[in-house]
Amino acid sequence: MSEDAKPTTELSGDFEDKTLPCKDCGTDWVFSAGEQEFYREKAFENEPSRCKECRKAKKIARNRRMRSRRQKKSGPGGNVCYAFQKGECTRGDECRFAHEIVEGAGEDNKE
């Protein structure tokens, strides 16, 4: 075998593009040699079972569920800057907590 017969991309090595069915939408999609190389480098054991569009949609839905759970868990007025409620916050717009006045917050400390 001559040197000219070597593959042009060494990254994909022994990988070839595969066509896989998406378990959500059922369409066939290509699991490229480069993606397979990435999966091997990261030591992922399983091939992806969803196409890129369905993976993205699932991630968005998961993030929405998590955001909703956090909001329910914290209740009304959750993630409010307590220093702002006391008039002591010095972070201004850089503060990661909400600067809004919540009725009933901090009333037990006023007496």
In the numeric block, the tokens 């090595």 are attached to: 13
Q: What is the pLDDT of residue 91?
A: 85
Greater confidence (81 vs 29) lies with: 29
pTM above 0.75, yes or no: no
List pLDDT tens digits, range 52-64: 999 999 999 998 8
List pLDDT tens digits, range 18-74: 999 999 999 999 999 999 999 999 999 999 999 999 999 999 999 888 877 776 665
Classify residue 74 by burial, with Cβ atoms within 10 Å: 0-12, 13-18, 19+: exposed
